[in-house]
Amino acid sequence: MARGGLARLLATLILFLLLAAGPSLAESEADLARGASEAAPDAQQHLLPRPLVIELPSARAGAELDADADADAVVTVDVRCASWRLAAEANNLAPWAAVPPECAPHVRDYVTGSAYRSDLDLVARESAAYARAAAPAGAADGRDAWVFDVDETLLSNLPYYAEHGYGAELFDHHKFDEWVERGEAAAIPSSLKLYNEVRGLGFKTFLLTGRSEAHRGVTVENLNKQGFHDWEKLILRAAGDREKTATVYKSEKRDEMEQEGYRILGNSGDQWSDLLGSSMSARSFKLPNPMYYIP
Amino acid sequence: MARGGLARLLATLILFLLLAAGPSLAESEADLARGASEAAPDAQQHLLPRPLVIELPSARAGAELDADADADAVVTVDVRCASWRLAAEANNLAPWAAVPPECAPHVRDYVTGSAYRSDLDLVARESAAYARAAAPAGAADGRDAWVFDVDETLLSNLPYYAEHGYGAELFDHHKFDEWVERGEAAAIPSSLKLYNEVRGLGFKTFLLTGRSEAHRGVTVENLNKQGFHDWEKLILRAAGDREKTATVYKSEKRDEMEQEGYRILGNSGDQWSDLLGSSMSARSFKLPNPMYYIP
């Protein structure tokens, strides 16, 4: 699965320029609000009679008719918002600035319920299984590396987002920085277990975060307090990285790792911008995060 | 979508041999059956007291205690299987040969219910919004291309999978080929609408499928009957492609497209092997498919 480094990075940049000119975010959310039924009428014009026992289910036909019934409406919104969340996880969405208003309750219920924890646990187990299979052999040269993002990957800022609409509010850098400086983010348990297992297998761990250098002290303290130790390097955004997208900044840092002779075998992040770009990991793991999007 | 006959079989076998050396697939399913709680004890050893109002939810603690209660057990399996499905869509799973047995009912309910249709519709709407933003301008040179996979992307084989456990059975090439030869696969309505919109915007459409050349006649007939017309090229697996994984075969075909001067701006597929590799599209769209995995 050679994903082409620089070419793809450039393509990503060009795309953002293209999208800036186009109808991306607002329209995407408007589409979501309009619901999923609009595709049907046009499509039907092209359909000949189908001799099939099983038809694709017509999801919205009934729901539209019963839009006044509260119970049905709730089910419908939940299905639509589950689709939105799935699309986010599969990297199908245009860049978005906040959770669509109608999906705020869905996202709140997800991240505070059992599904988020279960999703995190499964990704960690798949990561660990891969790590064991890909682990450095006896004659390791100490150059096998695993990259971890920090926020919503090793540490959870859920208490902060609970105070700010679970992603339904626009991101406030100032307030979030205040939260970071408290150093109270909690370890994601499955990630802590994975982190220690990966280290035990002989990988060098690199923590690559979008947090700025100004937060290095409290970040080290917070990570240590939560059980994360002995990383090879903790990389934070320097002043010169501030204008870069996360995709570009993190790609550059991975490029440097490879230039130093490291082989990046695993990469864990809750954003696609943690995982895509150049010097991509042999295998990447996308942790769930429906609360925010970082380009 | 590309179901490459022998190649897929061989690739699957090779994968299983690789996996046999590591702990991945069998263990992954066993892990799934064991549930998500095992991470907690180890992780807790590293946790200091946390002064947080909101804790990450402990998903399985309650469910384990109530394992005898049928209702709770059902919820638990459903949450676990939703995690499995999400992980598949986000490309987090190791290669898998069949839906885990305990998730067969979950997958059946998903693909026959409203969620699958809603998920397909949302991906198509996001694809169309991007297509409009990226569409060829007035002075187009006819080289802007959109690639579509066929099976489970343009056409649905749901009636076949309904007869074969919705992915819980191991794939049977012989029986699936018989189904393909009936030419009765139905258009996915949102994909048909997207296909026509993309063509209307001036994109050249390329259909890149894992079906073999032997099925060209019935595939053309099936596509036309369902409303798909005027593609630039329908690319099927030649004899020489049979041993290749879908990722390699499709990458080679995209390489050829680029060598011919096409710019691949969009790519729609239900498998990550439709989307990853070389000559990747400027943007890719992953349609949902929890029924099978093609490397």
B24-38 burial string, b = 16+ CB within 10 Å, else e? bbebbbebbeebbbe
CB contact under 8 A, A132 and B58: no
Average pLDDT value for residue range B76-88: 97
CB B260 within 8 A of CB B233: no
Nearest to A1 among B31, B158, B277 (CB): B277
Using DSSP's 3-state secondary structure scheme, residue B150 falls into coil
Q: Cβ distance A15 to B283 under 8 Å?
A: yes
The CATH code of the domain at A115-295 is 3.40.50.1000
Under 8 Å between Cβ of B59 and B40: no
> Residue B269 — very low, low, confident or very high, per pLDDT cuts 50/70/90?
very high
Provide, as residue numbers in chain A, all residues whose Cβ is less than 8 Å from the Cβ of B52.
Answer: 159, 184, 186
Among candidates A11, A58, A118 on the partner chain, residue whose Cβ is nearest the Cβ of B83: A118
Q: Could you tell me if A57 lies within 8 Å of chain B, comparing CB atoms?
A: yes
Residue of A28, A122, A159 with shortest CB distance to B83? A122
Interface residue B114 vs chain A (CB under 8 A): yes
In 10 A of CB A226, how many CB atoms? 25
Q: Do A193 and B42 touch (CB under 8 A)?
A: yes
Find residues 204-243 of chain A whose CB sits inside 8 Å of chain B: 225-227
Distance in angstroms (rounded) separating the CA atoms of residues A101 and B277: 36
> What is the spatial distance between Cα A178 and Cα A186, in angstroms, rounded to a whole number?
16
Cβ–Cβ of B83/A50 closer than 8 Å?
A: no
Q: Which of B93, B123, B189 is opposite residue A43, by nearest beta carbon?
A: B189
H/E element, B56 = none
B36, B51, B56: residue with CB nearest A156: B56
CB contact under 8 A, B86 and A86: yes
Q: Which one-letter DSSP state was computed for residue B151? A: B
Tell me the three state secondary structure of residue B208: strand
Condensed to tens digits (0 to 9), the pLDDT of residues B93-135 reads: 999 999 999 999 999 999 999 999 999 999 999 999 999 999 9
Tokens representing residue B263 in the block = 């710019």
CB distance from A108 to chain B under 8 Å? no
The residue with greater pLDDT, B170 or A9, is: B170
What CA–CA distance (Å, rounded) separates B235 from B242? 13
Query: Which amino acid, B129?
Result: A
Q: Is A113 on the interface with B (CB under 8 A)?
A: yes
Angle at A245 between CA A153 and CA A273, to 5 degrees: 35
A47 and B86 Cβ atoms separated by less than 8 Å = no
Among residues B233, B181, B180, B166, which one has the least CA distance to residue B204?
B233
B193 vs A contacts (CB less than 8 Å)? 39, 42-43
Cα(B57)–Cα(B5) distance, rounded to whole angstroms? 45
| β partners of residue B130 | none
Chains A, B: CB pairs < 8 Å:
284
Mean pLDDT over B35-55 rounds to: 34
B54 burial via Cβ count (<10 Å: 0-12, 13-18, 19+): middle
By mean pLDDT, which of A28-37, B10-19, B231-240 is the weakest?
Answer: A28-37
Nearest to A214 by CA among A188, A245, A237, A192: A237
**pLDDT reported for residue B136:** 78
Is residue B267 within 8 Å of residue B147, measured between CB atoms? Answer: yes
Cβ <8 Å between A116 and B46:
no
Establish if A117 touches chain B: CB-CB under 8 angstroms: yes
Question: Which backbone phi and psi does B35 adopt, to 5 degrees?
Answer: 95, -175
Residue B137 is predicted with a pLDDT of 74
- Distance CA(B287)–CA(A60), nearest Å, equals 19
With an 8 Å Cβ cutoff, is A259 touching chain B?
A: no
Contact A193, A123 (CB under 8 A): no
What is the pLDDT, as a whole number, of residue A138? Answer: 66
Q: What percent of chain B has pLDDT over 70?
A: 74
Decide if A187 contacts B47 (C-beta within 8 A).
Answer: yes
Residue with tokens 């408290």: A182
Instruction: With beta carbons less than 8 A apart as the criterion, state whether A23 and B133 touch.
Output: yes
pLDDT value of position A56: 44
A43 close to B189: Cβ distance less than 8 angstroms: yes
Q: Do B189 and A39 touch (CB under 8 A)?
A: yes
- The reply to whether A256 touches chain B by the CB within 8 Å rule is no
Q: What is the largest CA-CA distance in chain B?
A: 68
Task: Specify the fold of B5-21+114-286.
Answer: Rossmann fold (3.40.50)
| Cβ-Cβ contacts under 8 Å, B92 against chain A | 122-123, 126-127, 285-286
User: Which tokens hold the place of B176?
Assistant: 């699936």
Tell me the residues of chain A between 67 and 106 that have a Cβ less than 8 Å away from chain B.
79-80, 82-84, 86-87, 89-94
Best mutation site among B18, B25, B117 for testing chain A: the one with the most A CBs within 10 Å? B117
> A-contacting residues of B 169-208, CB under 8 Å?
184, 186-190, 192-193, 196
Both tokens assigned to A9: 């990075």
Which residue type sits at B103?
C
Model pLDDT, residue A136: 78
Residues of chain A positioned with their CB less than 8 A from the CB of B44: 189
What is the CB neighbour count within 10 angstroms for residue A14?
A: 12
Chain A residues inside the 8 Å CB shell of B27: 129
Predicted local distance difference test score (pLDDT) of residue A61: 37
Q: Tell me the range of A19-33, B12-26, B160-174 where mean pLDDT is highest.
A: B160-174
B19 and A133 within 8 Å at the Cβ level: the answer is yes
Band (pLDDT 50/70/90 cuts) for residue B266 is very high
List the single residue in B50, B93, B125 with the smallest CB-CB distance to A186: B50
Candidates B36, B57, B86; nearest CB to A113: B57
CA distance A42 to B193: 7
Higher pLDDT, B258 or B47: B258
Q: How many CA atoms lie within 13 A of A229 on its CB side?
A: 5
Give me the torsion for CA of B77, B79, B84, B85, rounded to 10°: 110
Backbone angle region of A167, left / alpha / beta, with phi > 0 → left and psi within -120 to 50 → alpha: left
Checking B172-175 for CB contacts under 8 A at 24+ apart, the result is B173/B3, B173/B5, B173/B8, B173/B9
Pairing mode of beta strands A186-187, B283-286: unpaired
Angle (CA) B226-B231-B236 rounded to 5° is 85
Is residue B262 within 8 A of residue B145, CB to CB? The reply is: yes
CB nearest B36 (choices: A1, A121, A158): A121
Instruction: Quickly state the pLDDT bin for B139 (edges 50, 70, 90).
Output: low
* DSSP sequence for B80-146: HHHHHHHHHHTT-SPP-SS--GGGHHHHHHHHHSHHHHHHHHHHHHHHHHHHHHH---TT--S-EEE
Q: Would you list the domain boundaries of chain A?
A: 115-295
Cα(B209)–Cα(B157) distance, rounded to whole angstroms? 14
| pLDDT on residue A140 | 76
Residues of chain A short of pLDDT 70, as ranges, are 1-75, 138-139
Task: Look at B142 and B18; give whichever has higher pLDDT.
Answer: B142
CB contact under 8 A, B115 and A83: yes
- What is the helix (H) or strand (E) element at residue A212, kind and residue range? strand A204-212
